[in-house]
Amino acid sequence: MNAPIVQRRTLPFAPGRYEGSNPSRRAKLVSFIAACAFLCAPILARGASSEKVVMPDSHLTPGAVTRATAEQLCNPKFRTASVRNVPASEKQQVYAEYHRTRQKGVCCEVDHLISLELGGSNDIRNLWPQPYSPAPGAHQKDIVENWLHKQVCAGAIGLKTAQHQIATDWYAVYEEMTAAQKNAVVKRR
């Protein structure tokens, strides 16, 4: 019996893929890949716990807080809707600073680095376009926001500590949380 002939596959832009292949097509593909990498660079993690986590650029979004106290933020009557005020023009500015465009359901949400329930400000220094995917993304950060708020209100950690933790590396907090803690956090704000 003869052994089957196995044809080796090459990438579409590999040299010699096609007889008389088009060098400008390869150049366009390489340019496209380089452009994608360049556009994503401003929001890639800087010192994050995981290379898979998208974090804000600390120069564009260092975080900003209000003068709210833990007592005010933990008051059962407090609602983030009462302090949320990010006009569309400011959101557009955030997207522009990060070289992103808003694509409903595709890109991201303009998120507060330090959440409003932790005394975060609506100032542009506290806003960034946070993607939903890949996970961990916006939904996982929401879990951290709620968890830290509960910890502050229970007196387990101070407000300034919680603000620092979420501003410097929210994903580290997420990784330290147990599955039970993540599941116990109920979004109420």
Residue where the block lists tokens 């039970």: 180
pLDDT band at residue 132 using 50, 70 and 90 as cut-offs: confident
* Any domain includes 178: yes
Looking at the 3D structure of the chain, how many domains does it have? 1
* Any domain includes 28: no
- What range does the domain containing 176 cover? 41-184
Q: How far, CA to CA in Å, does 119 sit from each of 112, 113, 154?
A: 10, 11, 16
* Any domain includes 4: no
Report which DSSP code applies to 131. E
* Stated length of the chain: 189
Q: What is the dihedral of CA 169, 171, 172, 174, to 10 degrees?
A: 140
Please, which residues bridge with residue 54 across strands?
A: 44
Most confident of 38-47, 81-90, 179-188: 81-90
Would you state the pLDDT for residue 4? 41
Could you read off the pLDDT of 20-29 as tens digits, one per residue?
Answer: 445 555 555 4
* Any domain includes 87: yes
Most confident of 8-12, 42-46, 48-52, 136-140: 136-140
Would you state the pLDDT for residue 35? 43
* Any domain includes 128: yes
- Interatomic CA distance for residues 113 and 126, integer angstroms: 5
Q: Nearest 5°: CA angle at 181, between 179 and 187?
A: 115
Window from 7-21, 38-52, 69-83 with minimum mean pLDDT: 7-21
Window from 2-16, 46-60, 69-83 with minimum mean pLDDT: 2-16
* Any domain includes 84: yes
* Any domain includes 104: yes
Buried/exposed 143-167: b ≥16 CB within 10 Å, e otherwise? bbbbbbbbbbbeeeeebeebbebbb
* Any domain includes 139: yes
Q: At 81, which amino acid appears?
A: A
Q: Using a CB cutoff of 8 Å and minimum separation of 24, what contacts does 60-64 make?
A: 60/97, 60/98, 60/125, 60/128, 61/113, 61/125, 61/126, 61/127, 61/128, 62/125, 62/167, 63/113, 63/114, 63/120, 63/125, 63/126, 63/163, 63/167, 64/114, 64/120, 64/121, 64/123, 64/125, 64/126
Cβ atoms 78, 159 nearer than 8 A: no
